[in-house]
C-alpha cells in the first residue's frame, strides 16, 4: 500500500492552515518531545493512532508490542529509570487502561516520569457505559501526578506538552492522557508549544542560601555525621556532587533501596543500604549519628522503623524538591526545598567558602573507628558449606561474573533484598526495582525497557519463582524483538518473603505460600523460543551463569535454592532499626 504523504513539522508551522488528525498530532507531539520508543498494545479506541504510526512514523519510533498493558507501563518505567528520559506507553480504552493502573502506581510511588496515553470511547458516548468504556481519569487520579481527558482536538498539542512538563520536572511522576476516538479522528492546524509555561506549576529548584549556610555549619561541626541518600540523588543526577561532598568532609554514606548506585557501593565511605533489611553498620550508624544529611529521600517506613527511635540524637538536614515530603514523617532541623543537584552544588561551594578546618578529619577519627567496628562485628553472611544452593551465593556469583557492570532489575520479595545486599552498584541507573509499591511482576518488563534502551548492555532480572510468573508472557516480547534479557530465578517453591514472616511471627504456619505447583521454567523458556538452564547444586551455579551470560538471546537460569533461607538482617515492622534480627 502506498503511504499518503503528510507535511513535515516545519512545513506545517510555515503553513498554519494545514489540518491534521488528532492521531497525527499525538505522534508529532511525541516526536517534538524527543520520544524515540513507545511500549504498548493496540485496540479499537486507538486504532487510528496505530494506523498513522504504521503509515507515517515507522522510521521515527521503535514500537514495542508487549503482551499485557501492565508490562507496557513497567517497560516504559524501566526505560525511564535506565535512561533518565521519560518513558511512553500507548494502550486502548477500558481494560487496556485499567491494566495500566499497577504500573502507574509503581511509577508514582517511586517518582518515575512515565507518560501513558489511553484510548477512550467517542466523547458523545462517555458516561453511557459504552463498549470498553472506563473512567480511567477518575480511576488513576490517586496514582498519577496529573491526568487529562482531552475533549477537543484543538487542545491536544498543548495538553501533551503540559503532560511532559509535569511528568519530568519537580518531583517526577506518571501522567495519563485519555484520548477519545473522535478526538483522534478530528482535524485541526498543528503547532507544538515547546515554550509553554504553566502559571500554577512552578517547582522550587534553587536552594535558599541561608539554609545552605546553616547546613554547611552543621556539617563542619558534626562529630558523628551520616549522609542518607535516596532515589532523588539519581533522579537529579547529583551523584557526582554527593561523592564530592562525602570525600571532602570524610562523610559515611548510606543509601535507600531506591538510592543504590547513587554512591559507589565499593567506596570505603559506603555503609550500604539502611532500613528493614539494611546492613548492621548502616542501621547502627544512623541510630548513633549526631547529624543526618538526607538527600532525595522521604523517610519511608521501611527505612525509619520506629520513628521515635530513628536518629533520635541527630540534627537532621533534609534536601528534597517535593515540599510535601519534608516534615511529613520525621521532624527536621534544616529543611531545604530544592533540586538535589543544585542544593548539593551550593553546599559544596559553601563548605569550600568557609574552608574545611585542618583538624576536621581527625575530629571524625573515633566515629570512623566505630563504623569499622560495627562492620567487623556483623557482616552480611550465609552458610557457604552446603551443596544446596544459597540464593545469596547466586547473586554474589552474578556480581563476580559480570564484574558489577550489568543493569540489574528485580522482582519483589526476598530476591529483591538479596540483590540489594549482595550486588554492589557503583553507578546510578543500574539497579531498577519497585521500591514504594513493592510490585511483584515489575522486574521482567522493566528489564525489557532497559534492554530496548541499551541493546548492547547486559540486563539481568533477578527474580523469584512467584514474581516471575506475574508477567512471564513477556518472554514472547523478548523473543520477537531479539532482546537478550537474562532472567535468574531464585526458585525456592515459596512466596519467600511472606513465608519468612510466617516463620518468624506466625508460628511457622505457612498459610498459602507454598507454590511448588509451578511450571518447569526450562521447558517454559523453550516453549517461547528462549533458552532454559537449571542449577540444582552449588557446584553447578557458576557454569550455569557463564553459559547463560554467553548464550545469545533471552535466557532463563533456574536456580533451585534452599527453600527456607531468610533475608537478614531484618527489622520487625514498627521496631527500631538498631534492634535487628541477625540470623
Report which secondary-structure segment, H or E, holds 246: helix 239-249
Does residue 305 belong to any structural domain of this protein? yes
Does residue 581 belong to any structural domain of this protein? no
Cell of 499: 513465608
**What would the pLDDT profile of 307-329 be if each residue is shown by its tens digit?**
999 999 999 999 999 999 999 99
Tell me: do 213 and 258 sit in the same domain.
yes
Decide: 433 and 410 in contact? Cβ < 8 Å. Answer: yes
pLDDT of residue 10: 43
Alpha-carbon gap, residue 469 to 61, rounded angstroms = 30
Tell me: do 369 and 405 sit in the same domain.
no
**What would the pLDDT profile of 170-228 be if each residue is shown by its tens digit?**
999 999 999 999 999 999 999 999 999 999 999 999 999 999 999 999 999 999 999 99
CATH code where residue 66 lies: 3.40.50.970
Decide: 494 and 514 in contact? Cβ < 8 Å. Answer: yes
Mean per-residue pLDDT for 35-43? 98
Burial of 34: CB neighbours in 10 Å, binned 0-12, 13-18, 19+: exposed
For the sheet containing 291-295, what is the strand order? 270-273, 253-255, 225-229, 291-295, 315-320, 334-337
Report which secondary-structure segment, H or E, holds 181: helix 181-185
Give the mean pLDDT of the chain: 96
Tell me: do 395 and 474 sit in the same domain.
yes
Tell me: do 164 and 290 sit in the same domain.
no
Does residue 349 belong to any structural domain of this protein? yes
Instruction: Please provide the DSSP assignment of 206-225 as one string.
Output: SPPHHHHHHHHHHHHH-SSE
Tell me: do 358 and 399 sit in the same domain.
no
Tell me: do 164 and 234 sit in the same domain.
no
Other residues' Cβ atoms within 10 Å of the Cβ of residue 516: 10
Alpha-carbon gap, residue 86 to 80, rounded angstroms = 5
Does residue 163 belong to any structural domain of this protein? yes
Active-site residues: which are they? 69, 131-132, 181, 497
How would residue 16 be classed by pLDDT, with cut points 50, 70 and 90?
Answer: low
Does residue 202 belong to any structural domain of this protein? no
pLDDT at 25 over 80: yes
Report which secondary-structure segment, H or E, holds 345: helix 340-354
Range of the domain at 318: 209-377
**Helix 47-56 and helix 22-32: axis angle, to 10°?**
60
Decide: 281 and 226 in contact? Cβ < 8 Å. Answer: no
Residue 50 sits at φ, ψ, to 5 deg, of -65, -35
Alpha-carbon gap, residue 208 to 326, rounded angstroms = 15
Mean per-residue pLDDT for 481-490? 98
Tell me: do 157 and 299 sit in the same domain.
no
Q: What is the pTM of this model?
A: 0.96
Q: How many domains does the chain have?
A: 3
The SS3 assignment for 197 reads coil
Does residue 574 belong to any structural domain of this protein? no
The bridge status of strand 187-189 relative to strand 225-229 is: unpaired
Does residue 2 belong to any structural domain of this protein? no
The SS3 assignment for 47 reads helix
pLDDT of residue 583: 86
Q: What is the 3-state secondary structure (H, E, C) of 252-319?
A: CEEECCCCCCCCCCCCCCEEEECCCCCCHHHHHHHHHCCEEEEECCCCCHHHHECHHHCCCCCEEEEE
Amino acid at each position: 500500500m502506498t503511504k499518503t504523504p503528510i507535511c513535515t513539522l516545519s512545513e506545517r508551522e510555515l503553513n498554519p492552515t494545514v489540518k491534521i488528525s488528532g492521531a497525527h498530532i499525538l505522534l508529532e507531539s511525541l516526536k517534538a518531545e524527543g520520544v524515540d520508543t513507545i511500549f504498548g498494545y493496540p485496540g479499537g479506541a486507538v486504532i487510528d493512532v496505530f494506523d498513522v504510526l504504521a503509515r507515517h512514523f515507522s522510521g521515527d519510533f521503535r514500537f514495542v508490542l508487549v503482551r499485557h498493558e501492565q508490562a507496557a507501563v513497567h517497560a516504559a518505567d524501566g526505560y525511564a529509570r535506565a535512561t533518565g528520559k521519560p518513558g511512553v506507553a500507548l494502550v486502548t480504552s477500558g481494560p487496556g487502561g485499567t491494566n495500566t493502573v499497577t504500573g502507574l502506581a509503581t511509577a508514582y510511588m517511586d517518582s518515575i516520569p512515565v507518560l501513558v496515553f489511553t484510548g477512550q470511547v467517542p466523547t458523545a458516548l462517555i458516561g453511557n457505559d459504552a463498549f470498553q468504556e472506563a473512567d480511567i481519569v477518575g480511576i488513576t487520579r490517586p496514582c498519577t501526578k496529573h491526568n487529562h481527558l482531552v475533549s477537543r482536538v484543538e487542545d491536544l498539542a498543548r495538553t501533551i506538552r503540559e503532560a511532559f512538563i509535569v511528568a519530568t520536572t519537580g518531583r517526577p511522576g506518571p501522567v495519563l492522557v485519555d484520548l477519545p476516538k473522535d478526538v483522534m479522528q478530528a482535524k485541526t492546524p498543528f503547532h507544538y508549544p515547546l515554550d509553554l509555561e504553566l502559571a500554577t506549576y512552578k517547582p522550587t529548584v534553587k536552594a535558599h542560601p541561608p539554609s545552605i549556610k546553616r547546613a554547611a555549619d552543621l556539617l563542619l561541626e558534626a562529630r558523628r555525621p551520616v549522609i542518607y541518600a535516596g532515589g532523588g540523588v539519581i533522579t537529579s543526577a547529583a551523584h557526582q556532587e554527593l561523592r564530592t561532598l562525602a570525600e571532602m568532609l570524610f562523610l559515611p554514606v548510606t543509601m535507600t533501596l531506591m538510592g543504590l548506585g547513587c554512591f559507589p557501593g565499593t567506596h570505603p565511605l559506603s555503609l550500604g543500604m539502611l532500613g528493614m533489611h539494611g546492613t548492621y553498620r548502616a542501621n547502627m550508624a544512623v541510630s548513633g549519628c549526631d547529624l543526618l544529611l538526607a538527600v532525595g529521600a522521604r523517610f519511608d517506613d521501611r527505612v525509619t522503623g520506629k520513628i521515635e527511635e530513628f536518629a533520635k540524637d541527630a540534627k537532621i538536614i533534609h534536601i528534597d524538591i517535593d515540599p510535601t515530603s519534608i516534615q511529613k514523617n520525621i521532624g527536621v532541623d534544616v529543611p531545604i526545598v530544592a533540586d538535589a543537584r543544585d542544593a548539593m552544588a551550593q553546599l559544596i561551594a559553601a563548605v569550600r567558602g568557609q574552608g574545611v578546618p585542618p583538624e576536621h578529619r581527625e575530629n571524625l577519627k573515633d566515629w570512623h573507628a566505630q563504623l569499622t567496628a560495627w562492620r567487623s562485628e556483623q557482616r552480611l553472611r550465609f552458610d557457604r558449606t552446603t551443596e544446596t544452593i544459597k540464593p545469596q551465593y547466586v547473586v554474589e556469583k552474578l556480581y563476580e561474573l559480570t564484574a558489577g557492570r550489568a543493569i540489574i532489575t528485580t522482582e519483589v520479595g526476598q530476591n529483591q533484598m538479596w540483590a540489594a545486599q549482595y550486588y554492589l552498584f557503583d553507578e546510578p541507573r543500574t539497579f531498577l526495582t519497585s521500591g514504594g509499591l513493592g510490585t511483584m511482576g515489575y522486574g521482567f518488563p522493566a528489564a525489557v525497557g532497559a534492554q530496548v534502551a541499551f541493546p548492547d548492555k547486559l540486563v539481568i532480572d533477578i527474580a523469584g519463582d512467584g514474581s516471575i510468573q506475574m508477567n512471564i508472557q513477556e518472554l514472547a516480547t523478548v523473543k520477537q524483538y531479539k532482546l537478550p534479557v537474562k532472567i535468574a530465578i531464585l526458585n525456592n517453591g515459596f512466596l519467600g518473603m511472606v513465608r519468612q514472616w510466617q516463620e518468624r511471627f506466625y508460628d511457622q504456619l505457612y498459610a498459602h505460600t507454598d507454590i511448588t505447583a509451578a511450571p518447569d521454567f526450562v521447558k517454559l523458556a523453550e516453549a517461547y523460543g528462549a533458552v532454559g538452564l537449571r542449577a540444582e547444586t552449588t557446584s553447578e551455579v557458576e557454569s550455569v551463569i557463564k553459559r547463560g551470560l554467553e548464550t545469545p538471546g533471552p535466557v532463563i537460569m533456574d536456580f533451585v535454592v534452599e527453600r527456607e533461607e531468610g533475608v537478614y538482617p531484618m527489622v520487625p515492622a514498627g521496631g527500631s532499626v538498631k534492634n535487628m534480627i541477625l540470623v
